[in-house]
Amino acid sequence: HLLLGYTDVISTVEFNQTGDLLATGDKGGRVVIFQRETEVESGEYNVYSTFQSHEPDFDYLKSLEIEEKINKIRWLPQQNAAHFLLSTNDKTIKLWKVSERDKRPEGYNLKDEEGRIKDISTVTSLRVPVLKPTDLMVEVRPRRIFANGHTYHVNSISVNSDGETYLSADDLRVNMWHLDITDRSFNIVDIKPANMEDLTEVITAAEFHPQHCHLFVYSSSKGTLRLCDMRESALCDKHSKIFEEPEDPGNRSFFSEIISSVSDVKFSHSGRYLLTRDYLTVKVWDLNMEKGPVETYQVHEYLRSKLCSLYENDCIFDKFECVWNSTDSVIMTGAYNSFFRMFDRETGRGVTLEAWRESSKPRAVLRTRRVYTGGRRRRGDVGVDSLDFTKKILHMAWHPAENIIAIAATNNLYIFQDRVNAENL
Amino acid sequence: MEYKVEAHRIMSISLGKIYNSRVQRGGIKLHKNLLVSLVLRSARQVYLSDYYSGACLNAAQSEREANEWDITDSEREKFPSSTTECDRVESPEEPQQTERPEKEHEHRENDDDLKSDQVDCTSTLQQEQNQNSLDSVANVSSETPPETIKEPKESPSESAVAERDSTPEANGESHQPPKTHVCSNRKRSAEETESGDSPQKRIKVASSDAEGDEEAEEMDTSNVSNLITIFGSSFSGLLSKDGAKPESETEDSGQICCDQMLKNLNPWSTAIVAF
């Protein structure tokens, strides 16, 4: 159980495919990479590298500031000693190469140790430079900059299983890029209406299928999911499958549309299921069944009666992420008051956990909590009205193989490790 | 009636959000503005559903309401050709200006409609209300299902549009088309030179106008058929003005600005088209 301090609000968290590296992006455009200690079993995560990925930018044509906030980070599968990741702000996606250097050449003939050119008259013999070990240095260099592909705000990036392409999605369009080509992008979804006044829904998230490189899914603000097959046509405006659940008329309110907007969509590791998050629930969908989710979990149903206040203070627009565990048996998502929820799919049970650290203690503790919604009140229950809505857990990640979770709570990063292997739920 | 108050409150909050989104860093967020406008539309429907049931009885009162709107001198100056119709046109200017920058091209059409609304309002309100139900149904066939209630003030604009297209019948309408164009042009310049606005706002106005020009190919402000399309589209439910509210909250001067804003939902509905 580890807490790492941070200076800026964390806006994205992502493990790489082995789980040895954890990348976080923040509102200031910085990326911090943590690396797990390899010598020790159940090693801890320490800072590996920090770099400025995006700077504030300005669109002169529209007189608009472009925020440097990192919206998403996605790692590429590792192919050689170096690591590659994609990071994006609202407009520009960048490919970064993270490499280590632990040797350096020494013994140049024409340069001295500091790199200054030697006086040639002092060179009396020739030698071959040799590589000598040096302190480990982590170098991060931008390798590609994918700019000008998006008119609207980029909300998702997803690396394809083909290892060569990736998609980026904004409010109205999804583009496919080749990792080596920056001056061209292929538009695969365009839902912009000819008349912007006819706009009724926007794209909220998109992801490639983990195994099938021709399939991707995108979610909308209306709560629908569309699965698209790129083999069918070049422009995938027409979906192969559409997943939507009919609205419950009993729950209709002014805010029904807002709370049905999907904030995140994730394929299961198996590729068989989809996990979506809307404002009050997480849902599991089976790709083979379009008419509705196969599982629905209430994250914080007690907020349903408070939607008006949440609308006033803008909390109703918060975009929570959702994640699968490595075996697709547990799903997790964030909530308010530094709470986050885990649901065991086999038992259907959910638990509320809190990312919390007593200021005197260096380590954070994972505590089970309960929100009091009626019935017998237990000690430690938190009333709905005492929830702190400024402490929201929007971003999180689950280690691809082990029970290690990374939780971003505003500007704190919590990493919880299941050392004892005790059951969490 | 509590839901009316609630709906009114939600509408004010929504308008405030759209207004604030203009000055937020990073540009206008399409998704959030879309959601806010959906809430605004729902609230407005609820709010007006009750009004409409009493609308036919209150036609005269609504006309009186329109007369009570504040008219600033500066606005009057900008519309030297102001008659009573133009006065009513001007009155929503004030609150509209605050919403303006996001609305560009859609706003242009809305201005036209708005003016036509008010013109109709002042002149042949009752006559048009009778026509409205027929015309509006005919014209707004593509209106989305939720828009089942035809507010009297919405209908005049629609019928005005339709009538302008076909045969201008009502009194004020013969001189509508030129006036609306003039007004809309004036309005745009008025917006650009509005006093008391921060420079930041001005920049944004200019930029959004620039964007509006970009979008001009999609929207021709003088194209009447576009106006009909606007009213026919789901988004356009917001475009019509609410006209008068039966309750005279206009006594409270502090409320007037807000009420006028609410009466003129056109401006903020174009939040979406700020790109």
Separation CA A383–CA A303 (nearest Å): 11
pLDDT of A355:
86
Name the residue facing A202 among B13, B30, B39 (closest C-beta).
Answer: B30
Any CB–CB contact under 8 A between B29 and chain A? yes
Q: Which residues of B touch A67 (CB under 8 A)?
A: 25-26
Residue B35: how many other CB atoms lie within 10 Å: 23
| Res. A104: pLDDT tops 50 | yes
Q: Could B31 and A261 be called an inter-chain contact, meaning their C-beta atoms sit closer than 8 Å?
A: yes
| Res. B198: pLDDT tops 80 | no
pLDDT of A149:
95
- Residue pair B205/B101 in contact by the 8 Å Cβ criterion: yes
Name the residue facing A255 among B31, B39, B236 (closest C-beta).
Answer: B39
Q: Which residues of B touch A64 (CB under 8 A)?
A: 26-27, 207
Tokens of B85: 């119709």
Percent of chain A with pLDDT over 70: 95
| Res. B267: pLDDT tops 70 | no
Q: Which residue of B has its CA nearest to A260?
A: B35
Any CB–CB contact under 8 A between B49 and chain A? no
pLDDT band at A4 (very low <50, low <70, confident <90, very high): low
Separation CA A320–CA A409 (nearest Å): 12
Q: How many residues does chain B have?
A: 275
Residue B37's nearest CA partner among A59, A198, A105 is A198
| Res. B230: pLDDT tops 90 | no
| Res. A101: pLDDT tops 80 | yes
pLDDT digits (tens, 9 = 90+) for A305-345: 999 999 999 999 999 999 999 999 999 999 999 999 999 99
**How many residue pairs from chains A and B have C-beta atoms closer than 8 A?**
98
pLDDT digits (tens, 9 = 90+) for A378-394: 888 888 889 999 999 99
| Res. A160: pLDDT tops 90 | yes
Any CB–CB contact under 8 A between B106 and chain A? yes
Angle between helical axes of B125-139 and B93-122 (0-180°, round to 10): 100
Separation CA B126–CA A254 (nearest Å): 32
- For residue A349, the 8-state DSSP code is -
Q: Which residues of B touch A171 (CB under 8 A)?
A: 30-31
Q: Which residue of B has its CA nearest to A314?
A: B17
Residue with the two structure tokens 């504030």: A56
pLDDT of A1:
61
Q: Could B35 and A258 be called an inter-chain contact, meaning their C-beta atoms sit closer than 8 Å?
A: yes
pLDDT of A419:
58
- Residue pair B117/B156 in contact by the 8 Å Cβ criterion: yes
Interacting residues of A6 by C-beta distance below 8 A, sequence separation 6+: A24, A26, A32, A411, A412, A413
Least confident segment among A121-130, A333-342, B128-137? B128-137
pLDDT band at A195 (very low <50, low <70, confident <90, very high): very high
pLDDT band at B51 (very low <50, low <70, confident <90, very high): low
Separation CA A52–CA A32 (nearest Å): 9
Rounded to two decimals, the ipTM of the complex is 0.88
- Residue pair B113/B93 in contact by the 8 Å Cβ criterion: no
Q: Which residue has the higher pLDDT, A27 or B243?
A: A27
The 3 state secondary structure assigned to A21-34 is: EEEEEECCCEEEEE
Q: Which residues of A touch B233 (CB under 8 A)?
A: 195, 197-198
| Res. A373: pLDDT tops 50 | yes
Q: Residue B144 forms beta bridges with which residues?
A: none
Q: Could A62 and B235 be called an inter-chain contact, meaning their C-beta atoms sit closer than 8 Å?
A: no
pLDDT of A6:
64
| Res. B173: pLDDT tops 90 | no
Q: Could B272 and A196 be called an inter-chain contact, meaning their C-beta atoms sit closer than 8 Å?
A: yes
pLDDT of B211:
40
| Res. A420: pLDDT tops 50 | no
Any CB–CB contact under 8 A between B236 and chain A? yes
Q: Which residue has the higher pLDDT, A422 or B28?
A: B28
Residue B60: how many other CB atoms lie within 10 Å: 10
Query: From edge to edge, which strands make up the β-sheet containing A30-36?
Result: A10-15, A21-26, A30-36, A45-52
Q: Could B211 and A200 be called an inter-chain contact, meaning their C-beta atoms sit closer than 8 Å?
A: no
- Residue pair B4/A43 in contact by the 8 Å Cβ criterion: no
Separation CA B214–CA A86 (nearest Å): 32
Q: How far is CA B46 from CA A122, B141, B155, in A?
A: 91, 21, 17
Angle between helical axes of B30-55 and B2-23 (0-180°, round to 10): 150
Separation CA A395–CA A409 (nearest Å): 8
CA distance A61 to chain B (A): 8
Q: Could B218 and A153 be called an inter-chain contact, meaning their C-beta atoms sit closer than 8 Å?
A: no
Q: State mean pLDDT over A111-122.
A: 84
Interacting residues of B273 by C-beta distance below 8 A, sequence separation 6+: A196, A197, B102, B103, B104, B105, B106, B215
Winning range, highest mean pLDDT, from A256-260, B24-28, B174-178:
A256-260
CA distance A87 to chain B (A): 17
pLDDT of A392:
95
Interacting residues of A143 by C-beta distance below 8 A, sequence separation 6+: A84, A95, A96, A97
- Residue from B19, B31, B200, B273 to probe the interface with A (highest A Cβ count within 10 Å): B31
Tokens of A184: 């061209």
pLDDT band at B153 (very low <50, low <70, confident <90, very high): very low
pTM of the model: 0.69
3-state class of A307 per DSSP? Answer: helix
Separation CA A97–CA A414 (nearest Å): 26
Residue with the two structure tokens 């807002």: A258
pLDDT digits (tens, 9 = 90+) for A163-179: 999 999 999 999 999 99
Any CB–CB contact under 8 A between B235 and chain A? yes
| Res. A22: pLDDT tops 50 | yes
Any CB–CB contact under 8 A between B219 and chain A? yes
Mean pLDDT of chain A: 91
pLDDT of B184:
39
- For residue A346, the 8-state DSSP code is T
